[in-house]
Structure formats: structure tokens, C-alpha cells
Structure 1
Amino acid sequence: MNATWMIPFIILGGALQTCGAAMNSQLYKHMLNPWLASAISAALVAIFFVAIFVVRSKPLPSVQDAMSMPWWAVVGGLVGAVQVYAGLTLVHKVGAGTFMGLTVTAALIMSLLIDHFGWLRVDPHPISLGRVLGGVLMVGGVTLITAF
């Protein structure tokens, strides 16, 4: 991906994540069963990526690549499923602003910890006063969004 498009693509992804949470809330509302709604949501994602893989199946990993992968690397999608389930069952109760504010704040705080300690094989980026201040401001912003 061209570096010029990375930041706009990330921003688009964040904006669409909010839309997706609201869409999943409606899916749950009409399917009545949160597990069915989650399965429908996950199935569409799986179909999409299988179709893209069929079209663009190169490169493929070597056996060595697959064997050197940490066991927990394949669990990322399941971790994402927690967010999907939370969105479809809770957005209609707390509102999209509060839901996404809490989501982004929690993600930001966890990212600071992952960066600082180098967890999950991420290159370390030490916590600084500016990063802590940014986290505190996020918590303050979410508090304001939730209160009003």
C-alpha cells in the first residue's frame, strides 16, 4: 500500500468501525438472537476474505513461516469477535458515541501498554509524558461524551 494512503485508510477504517457497530446493532435487533447475528456478521467477513484470497492467493507462506508463527497469532479474529458481539448487543443501549469512545479509549490504553512493554512481539515504544497525557485526555473526552 502506498504510504500516502495509509493514514486516510486507517481513518476510514475507524469511521467504518463505528458504522459497523451501529449496523450490527440493527442486525441483532432484527435477528433477535445475538449468536445468530454474530454468526451472520462473521460469515460475511469470512466470505469476503475467502473471495479476495481466491483472486489474490500469492504469496503463500512456506511451512517454515507457518511453523514459526506464535500459537496466539491465529486468535486475533476471535478477539475481534468480542468487539463485534459487544457492538451488536450494546450500541443501542449506550449509543454509538459512548460505545466507540470507550472502545477507542480502551484500545488506546492497551496500545500504549503493548508499545511500552513490546507485548505480542511489537517493537517497543516507551511510554512518555505526552502519550500518558493523550490517554488521560481520551478518558476525559469519553467521560464528557458519556455524561452528555
Structure 2
Amino acid sequence: MLPLILGVSVGIILPMQTAVNSRLRTVVNSAFISSMISFTIGTLFLVISTFATTGSLFVSKTLLVNQPWWIWIGGFLGVIYLTGNIILFPHLGSVQTVIMPVLGQIIMSMLIDNYGWFFSPASPLTVIRICGALLVFAGVFSAVALPGLLQTSKLKSVSAKAQPTTSSWLWRIVGVLTGALSAVQTAINGHLSVVVHSAVKAALISFLVGTVALWLIVLLKERKVLFNNFHIKATVWWNWIGGIMGALFVCTNAYLVPIIGTGMVVVILLIGTIIGSLLVDQFGLFASQKNPVNLLQLLGVFIMVIGVGMIKLL
């Protein structure tokens, strides 16, 4: 029960991190630079945490040589997921940019559990688990998409930009794939935590790889970073804690995967994420716009909880 509570709790952090980073984006005038700063701060936080808990920041040469190459790319997959959402938004709109990756996360996490990929604890894909996963997705749909769809007469009206049918489906496939990569990142970081004997150090490695990747993306896209153009005086202290929130999120993921498996981690984090999103909307946390929660969204959370119960029962 404790891992489930921990997973939901850290899932609540994720939408709050998004709200914080969105505010930081208005300060630096760039989504990529905002993400880069967030990852950099998170990496520095994890450097301190890793040294405090393990007394070392490095891994042995033997570990580098003997472990499979993919064990080190979790942070890069995280950047792909983050960048993918930024790219998807203008093509799919806010609702489908959430729904398509979630679908990819659920499908891939179930496959990882079934086959024990990436050394994740194996759990056979039973009919009950499949039904539970479908209920989790239905709950996400009810909480995220259904309220908006009921207020519109056409599905395309909730998209930020209408696209031809073929193009729309291609972008939806990209969304599913980015979500699948997010589930792979979760499994990889879970195994990495076992290999390095520390969830904190695993999170540091993941964040460091992601930070380097984001710095390269920013330098290639923006050409240069002009810190004097940032509106630093317009910030408050919490504008800078998004990276710490993300670090706690990744660290907890790495800790939980070896205990309860990738699939369970993904779905309980989804519950936490939806709950956190509703809290942000209901109370307008971190200077977000208030959007009162409705019964459909609460019903969605309840359906997700039932789905998780079914998955847990195997």
C-alpha cells in the first residue's frame, strides 16, 4: 500500500511542475530554455542529494563496460517526450496532446510488464489487467477530454489547429509513440537504480543526460542564450523549483519500478497526475487560471482507481 500512496503523491507533483515551468516560460520567452533551466536546477539538486546519500557521484568503469548501452539513455527519452508534447500541441490541441501519450504509456507499460523488458519485474498480461488498463484510460478520457467534448459540437473545435485527416492520424501516432518512450524511460530508470544501488543516483544520471541534450537543443535552435533578456525581476521564488519537483518525480519512479513493476508505476502516476491537474485547476495554483472541477472529472478519477485495483489483482 505504501508504494501506491507514494506513487500517487509524486504523480500529483507533475502537473504542479508543469504549472511552475509554464510560469518560468513567460520569464525566459522560450519553452526549450525553460525546460533547460528546469533540468539544470534538477541536476544540481540531485548532485547534492546523491553525494549526501551515497558519498559518490560516479559509477565504476566495470559498470560502464558490462551494462547494456540503453541503460544510460533514460534522460534522453525524457527529453524526447517533453519536446514531443511541445511539438504535438499545435497539431492536436491540448486534449489529444494529453490523451495520445497516455495511451502509449499504458500500452507500452503493459507490454514491458508482460515480457519483462528492460529487466522490469514481469507480470503476465491477463484479461483482468487488460480490463484494468482500459478502465484507467477511460478514466483519463473522462477527466481530461469528455467535459470539453460535451461542450463542443465538433471534435476539431477542441484542437488548436485543424488538420487533414491523414495528417491528424500521423500526429496521433507520434503522440502514442512519445508516450511509449516515456514508459520505456520509467523501466530503464528502474533498472538503473538497481544497478547503481541508488534511486537518487539513477535519477541524477537520467537528469544529467537530459540536461546535456536540452542544452544542445537550445544552442542549436536558439543559437545563443541571452540571459540579460530574461525578466528575472518578474519572478518569485517558486518559479525556480520545477526542476526539483521533476527530480523528485524521476527519483521516485526509479525507486518504485523494481518493487511494483513498470505498468503499476505508470498507472498510479497517472492517477496522481490527474488529481494534481484537478487541484491546479480548482485552486489556480502557481498563478494558473482557475477552472472549477466538475463531476465528470471526479468520476474519471474514481474509474481510474477501479482500474488500478483490477491491475493490482492481476
TM-score (norm 2): 0.43
Q: Distance in 2 between matches of 1:61 and 1:139?
A: 45
- Return the match for 2:293 from 121, 124, 127: 127
Unmatched tracts of structure 1, length 5 or more: none
Q: Is the 8 A contact 1:21 1:96 kept in 2?
A: yes
- Alignment identity in percent? 27
Counterpart of 2:191? Answer: 26
- The residue type equivalent to 1:4 in the other structure is H
Q: Distance in 1 between matches of 2:230 and 2:201?
A: 37
- Return the match for 2:239 from 73, 80, 92: 73
Counterpart of 1:37? Answer: 202
Considering only aligned residues, what root-mean-square deviation do their CA atoms show, in Å?
2.2
Q: Larger RCO: Structure 1 or Structure 2 (Cα < 8 Å, ≥ 6 residues apart)?
A: 2
Unmatched tracts of structure 2, length 5 or more: 1-86, 98-171
- Return the match for 2:279 from 90, 99, 113: 113
Question: Radius of gyration: which is bigger?
Answer: 2
Query: Which range moved further: 138-147 or 10-19?
Result: 10-19
- The residue type equivalent to 1:41 in the other structure is S
Q: Is the 8 A contact 2:191 2:254 kept in 1?
A: yes
Q: Is the 8 A contact 2:282 2:291 kept in 1?
A: yes
Q: Distance in 1 between matches of 2:190 and 2:230?
A: 41
Q: Distance in 2 between matches of 1:13 and 1:108?
A: 19
State the Cα deviation string for residues 3-34 of structure 1 (Å, max 9, x = none). 22452465544332221110101212222233
Does residue 15 of the first structure (1) align with residue 180 of the second (2)? yes
SS at match of 1:56: helix
Structure 1 residue 134: Cα displacement: 0.8
Paired residues in the alignment total: 148
Q: Distance in 1 between matches of 2:203 and 2:230?
A: 34
State the Cα deviation string for residues 23-82 of structure 1 (Å, max 9, x = none). 101212222233322221111011011111211236756556222123212211111111
* Residue correspondence of structure 1 range 41-120 to structure 2 within 5 A: 41-57=206-222, 60=226, 65-120=231-286
